[in-house]
Amino acid sequence: MSISIDKLGVAILAGGKSSRMGTDKGLINFNDIPLVERIIRQISHIFPEIFIVTNNIEEYRRFGCPLISDALPGIGPLGGLYTALDYDKHDYTLLLSCDMPFVSQALLLYLMNVVDHYDAVVPRLSEQSHPEPLRAIYSKNCFSIIEKYIEKGGRKVIGFYSGIDIRYVERNEIEGVDPGARSFFNANRPEDLIEAARLTKYYPLKD
């Protein structure tokens, strides 16, 4: 069973300062466009309900999306996911990270198509590797599980996974819609932007 666009909100996690980048990664200019704007322009024609979770509210106003302050600052992406699920009025939330600047529209639509009865749909590049929690869909059912996990001191963004029903999207499925799994490229260091320049042709922007 797939879900429709009107059942889904999109949350972009942004506003955290990177020690390796030396600044807020979402605001880094790449080809004259901030990374977070690049993400928005790749998906806004498909997903109308996009909001940004950030504690850098003033700097992110220019992007024209609703801005939500991280309800649990200091605990990393898990706090961002908690905040997104608490805020989002939709049944499902697609979580994206500002430091993964390339978005495969085909992959996101595929994730929506395999939601079925699951609490979360999470890509996994190999069975030996960690899943990709910041390019995944979560249902409202996850919120109470995450809340209890945090109350017990949990901080890992995938630490609550044992308490939910997950559909992992495996590498062979990913390759079918996102050849080379290029959209999982992560810009963590200044030199990563050099490699990013090579990938832009695969993920064109919409005006």
Higher pLDDT, 17 or 37: 37
pLDDT at 202: 85
pLDDT at 128: 82
Burial 186-203 (b: 16+ CB within 10 A, else e): ebeeeebbeebeeeeeeb
Q: d(Cα 1, Cα 116) in Å, to the nearest integer?
A: 4
pLDDT at 20: 58
Query: Over 60: is that where the pLDDT of 19 sits?
Result: no
Cα 126 to chain centroid, rounded = 19
Question: Which pTM was predicted?
Answer: 0.94
What would the 3-class secondary structure string for 124-193 be?
A: ECCCCCCECCCEEEEECCHHHHHHHHHHCCCCCCCCCHHHCCEEEECHHHHHHHCHHHHHHCCCCCCCHH
Mean pLDDT of 186-196: 85
Q: Which helix (H) or strand (E) holds 199?
A: helix 192-199
25-61: per-residue pLDDT in tens?
A: 899 998 889 999 999 999 999 999 999 999 999 999 9
**What domains are there in the chain, each with its CATH number?**
5-202 (3.90.550.10)
Locate 77 and state its tokens: 């992406």
Q: pLDDT exceeding 70 applies to what percent of the chain? A: 95
Query: Over 90: is that where the pLDDT of 129 sits?
Result: no
pLDDT at 142: 99
105-113 and 35-43 helices, crossing angle to 10°: 60
pLDDT at 18: 59
Contact 160, 142 (CB under 8 A): yes
Candidates 136, 123, 115, 122; CA nearest to 171 is 123
Candidates 64, 67, 62; CA nearest to 14 is 67
Mean pLDDT of 9-18: 84
Mean pLDDT of 141-168: 98
Query: Over 80: is that where the pLDDT of 106 sits?
Result: yes
pLDDT at 21: 62
Mean pLDDT of 79-85: 98
pLDDT at 32: 87
pLDDT at 120: 99
Mean pLDDT of 109-134: 95
